[in-house]
């Protein structure tokens, strides 16, 4: 047995590539496991994916068997492929001296609980020997093939101000505000706050760059930034004069995972997931 793609690159919300790439490429949401039966018996194989890393979800995986090429590699008569619950495993028979491919599809929803990161997984293959000899039929062999699933980050965030409007006067010239940034993505969010410089007011804040972690499952993740505005207007009478405060927020591109090298997109190569960002 051989895993043709040891690294699988998964973009949340993107469906797995329908046509698997050749051996040695970084799999785009899909990996192929090649099963070769070198014995003179029709053995059965059960394939599943195991991962003990935090935030991993078994629902990301679908296992399916490819259609065999030729009678030699076709499933034995009366022994169809048997998908497991929710298609998260697959049991299939391989004829003696036959070869069959199993496709591992990875689909990660675009949700905050689907945390961006590098997940070390194991492709578990359980071989069951089919034999008329009861002693051999009881023999089972379990092989675990290591692989790496890379879940890419996506960014969603909202900003609110409290309160949206403040009144100042001749005696009370300063007003306090609070800006709240909520991270609804699956990776750390870094936001740079650029304070405005209006002629009619002085804006002051201690924070210039905000770091908001991704939310834990079922929770929210927010960071609040207080800032203070001092009015420079000294009119005693007359209509109310509104002073807009056009705060600018810009996301700093600092993903927790290094991007896929361009050369690994068009040719066999490593994903470089552990490289410098």
Domain ranges of the chain: 2-153+257-266, 157-251
| pLDDT attached to residue 175 | 73
| pLDDT attached to residue 113 | 95
DSSP class per residue in 167-192: ---SS--EEEEEEEEEE-SSS-EEEE
2-153+257-266 architecture in CATH?
Sandwich (2.60)
Q: Cβ distance 66 to 101 under 8 Å? A: yes
What are the pLDDT tens digits along the chain (277 aa)? 899 999 999 999 999 988 888 999 999 999 999 999 888 888 899 999 999 999 999 999 999 998 766 656 676 677 888 999 999 999 998 888 888 999 999 999 999 999 999 999 999 999 987 666 666 555 668 999 999 999 999 999 999 887 665 555 555 667 777 888 999 999 999 998 876 666 666 666 656 788 999 999 999 999 988 877 776 656 555 565 666 666 778 899 999 998 888 888 888 888 887 766 6
| pLDDT attached to residue 277 | 63
157-251 architecture in CATH?
Sandwich (2.60)
| pLDDT attached to residue 118 | 95
Name the 3-class secondary structure at 41: coil
| pLDDT attached to residue 52 | 96
Cα 159 from Cα 191, distance rounded (Å): 11
> CB-based contacts of 175: which residues, under 8 Å, 6+ apart?
166, 167, 168, 228, 229, 231
Q: Cβ distance 19 to 27 under 8 Å? A: no
Question: pTM of this prediction?
Answer: 0.83
Q: Cβ distance 122 to 144 under 8 Å? A: yes
| pLDDT attached to residue 189 | 96
Cα 104 from Cα 109, distance rounded (Å): 16
Q: Cβ distance 84 to 58 under 8 Å? A: no
DSSP class per residue in 92-107: EEE-TT-EEEEEEEE-
């Amino acid at each position: 047995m051989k895993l043709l793609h040891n690294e699988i690159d998964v973009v949340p919300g993107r469906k797995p590539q329908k046509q698997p790439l050749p051996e040695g490429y970084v799999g785009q949401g899909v990996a192929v496991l090649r099963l070769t039966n070198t014995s003179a018996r029709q053995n059965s194989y059960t394939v599943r994916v195991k991962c003990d890393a935090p935030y991993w979800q078994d629902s990301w995986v679908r296992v399916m068997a490819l259609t065999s090429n030729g009678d030699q590699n076709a499933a034995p008569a009366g022994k169809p492929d048997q998908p497991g619950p929710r298609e998260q495993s697959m049991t299939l028979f391989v004829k003696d001296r036959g070869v069959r491919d199993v496709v591992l599809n990875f689909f990660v929803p675009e949700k905050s609980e689907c945390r961006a990161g590098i997940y070390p997984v194991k492709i578990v293959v359980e071989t069951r020997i089919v034999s008329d000899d009861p002693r051999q039929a009881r023999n089972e062999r379990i092989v675990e093939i290591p692989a790496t699933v890379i879940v890419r980050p996506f960014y969603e965030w909202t900003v609110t101000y409290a309160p949206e409007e403040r009144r100042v006067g001749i005696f009370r010239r300063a007003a306090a505000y609070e800006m709240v940034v909520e991270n609804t993505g699956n990776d750390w969010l870094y936001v740079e706050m650029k304070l405005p410089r209006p002629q009619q007011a002085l804006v002051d804040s201690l924070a210039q760059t905000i770091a908001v972690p991704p939310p834990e499952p079922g929770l929210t993740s927010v960071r609040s930034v207080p800032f203070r505005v001092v009015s420079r207007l000294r009119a005693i009478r007359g209509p109310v004069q509104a002073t807009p405060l056009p705060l600018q927020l810009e996301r700093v591109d600092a993903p927790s995972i290094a991007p896929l090298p361009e050369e690994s997109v068009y040719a066999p190569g490593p994903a470089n997931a552990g490289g410098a960002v």
